[in-house]
Structure formats: C-alpha cells, structure tokens
Amino acid sequence: MAVLGGCTVQGPDGEQQSPVRIELPSGTPSPKSAPPDDKPSAPAAPAAPAVLWKPGDKGRDIRELQARLRQIAWLFDGPTGVYDDLTERAVRGFQGKRGLPKTGRTDRVTWERLLKMTREPGRWDLYLMGGQPADAPDARCLTGRVLCVSKESRTLRWMVDGRTELTVPVRFGSEYTPTREGVFSVYWKSRHHVSTLYDSPMPYAMFFSGGQAVHYSSDFAARGYAGASHGCVNVADEPAIREIFARVRTGDKVVVHW
C-alpha cells in the first residue's frame, strides 16, 4: 500500500492527531501513463484520380478524346473540340462498361484505359468535320477578288485585295476524280444547280473549270472527310457558302493550290 502524509489535524480539545493517510491501490497508473487504445485506425480512403478534362473544356486535347471515342464506337459525331453533352455521355458509357466510376469526366484512369484500346489519331481524324486552321494564302491570292483554295489545309478563303473576309473548310475529289489545281475564274453561278452527270444537288454552285465548281454539299456536312467529291470543291457550312455565293461575281479569280 502506498501512504501519503504531511498533514495533521486538530482534535476538538486542541490535541493534535496523527497525520491523515490516504491509501491508493499500488500500481494504479496516472492518466498520463494510460496505455494507448489498441484498436487499429481506419485506412485512409484512396485519393480520386486527377480529372484531366470535363464538360465545357475546349481544345485540341478534347478533339483527341473524341477521335479515340469514335474509334471504339462510343461517339459518332465530331470531333468538335468542345466537351459537350454527347462527349460526356460517351465517357460515362465507356466508364460504366469497364467498371470505372461513371462521372462523365475524363480522369487519368479513364484516359489511360482509352489509350490502351485505341490508336493515335491522324490530323484528319482530329478534324474530320472541319475546324482546322487555314495555312497561309498562296501568293497568287494576294491581289484582286479571289476564291483561294488550299489542298494542304483543306480550306477556302474568300479574299479581296489580300484581305481574308471568310474562311471555310472544304473537301475535294478522290484520287479517281481529282480536283484540278491552278488559276481559274468563275464563269457561271447557279443557285439551285443539280448535277446532270450524278443527279445530285449542287446548291450555290460557282463553276470554275468544266464541271468543277465550289458548292454546298450535304454529304460533306453529314460525313466530313470520310467521303469525297467528284472533283468539286465541297463546302459543309451552308450559311457561309450562301454568303460567299452572294459576294462572288462572274469573272472572279479561283486559285487551287497546295
């Protein structure tokens, strides 16, 4: 038994009594020396993978994401370069099919899984439906009124005295029906033209070389560069070709170049 002392008490007659004794069980630990709780702590939750892209994001990386989703039939539109509702839905479906959290956002785990299942997209996979930047205009386009058509960037510039007023993506003929290159002029305009050779509509046609013309193509608008023309310069943007058609005059120059 442990004994604590040092205090004395006075009796009723003024007689001193024995010191007060307080008995404690031996070996009782103080609160500071109490053993720690033996229960194991819960493991920390794993950190969520970093989100690379999410709805509303834009740019070349989004084009690649969309092009890769197209390769495995999770997306059928685009690429547009905009993380839109269709892209979010495609990502969510891809994630669910592979047991990943269906967030609709592209995190690092989702992206790495997609990379393993697809190939590196080429330039025209990324710009299947247009949207590509135009290259520099040919020197022959820098004077006068010109439809300046680049086969390298697949674009058409409407230019006046060296100034670009409108730019649109265009599509050309296949290797069997190539679009002619060189300097030409618009010799005929036909707003509601229909091809007598292929029995297909050619709205806003501006003929520059035989039966070859710059015109609107609903097939280009629907299929992009997955298709080809019969030699004409196809435009998929109907409001743009309507405006170009209104501005171009018979006799204006057409330059088709690489």
Tell me: the pLDDT tens digits for 156-187? 999 999 999 999 999 999 999 999 999 999 99
What is the predicted pLDDT for the residue at 20?
A: 44
The two structure tokens encoding residue 46 = 């794993």
The per-residue pLDDT for range 39-85, each reduced to its tens digit, is: 666 676 678 899 999 999 999 999 999 999 999 999 999 999 999 99
7 noted as active-site residue: no
Identify whether 58 is part of a domain: yes
| 121 and 144 inside one domain | no
Catalytic residue among 193, 215, 230, 257: 215
Sequential DSSP letters for 147-203: EEEETTTTEEEEEETTEEEEEEEEE-B-SSSPPP-EEEE--EEEEEEE-TTT--EEE
Boundary residue ending a domain (126, 151, 185): 126
**How confident is the model at residue 200, as a pLDDT?**
93
Q: Is residue 225 in some structural domain?
A: yes
The verdict on 166 and 250 lying in the same domain is: yes
Same domain for 244 and 150: yes
Mean pLDDT of the chain: 89
Asked if residue 187 and residue 87 are part of one domain, the reply reads no
202 pLDDT more than 80: yes
Which of helix, strand or coil describes residue 137?
Answer: coil
Q: What is the pLDDT of residue 48?
A: 83
215 is catalytic: yes
Residue 11, pLDDT above cutoff 60: no
Query: Which CATH number belongs to the domain containing residue 181 in this structure?
Result: 2.40.440.10
Do 106 and 147 have their domain in common?
no
Least confidently predicted of 21-35, 129-143, 172-186, 188-202: 21-35
pLDDT at 24: 46
Who has greater pLDDT, 40 or 155?
155
Q: Is the domain of 213 the same as that of 103?
A: no
Q: How many domains, in total, are found in the chain?
A: 2
102 and 209 share one domain: no
> Same structural domain for residues 163 and 213?
yes
Task: Please tell me whether residues 114 and 219 are part of one structural domain.
Answer: no
Question: Does residue 40 lie in a domain region?
Answer: no
Quickly tell me which residue has 């979010």 as its tokens.
Answer: 88
The answer, yes or no, to whether residue 188 has pLDDT greater than 80, is yes
Report the percent of the chain where pLDDT is more than 90. 80
The pLDDT of 105-125, averaged and rounded, is 98
Instruction: Identify whether 105 is part of a domain.
Output: yes
The single residue of 141, 148, 193, 232 carrying the catalytic annotation is 232
Q: What whole-number distance in Å separates Cα of residue 107 and Cα of residue 121? A: 20
On whether both 217 and 155 belong to a single domain, the answer is yes
Which of the four pLDDT bands, split at 50, 70 and 90, describes residue 142?
very high
* Same-domain check for residues 99 and 163: no
Domain extent for 244:
139-257
> What pLDDT does residue 38 have?
59
Do 216 and 190 share a structural domain?
A: yes
Q: Pick from 169, 176, 162, 217: which is nearest to 194 by CA? A: 217
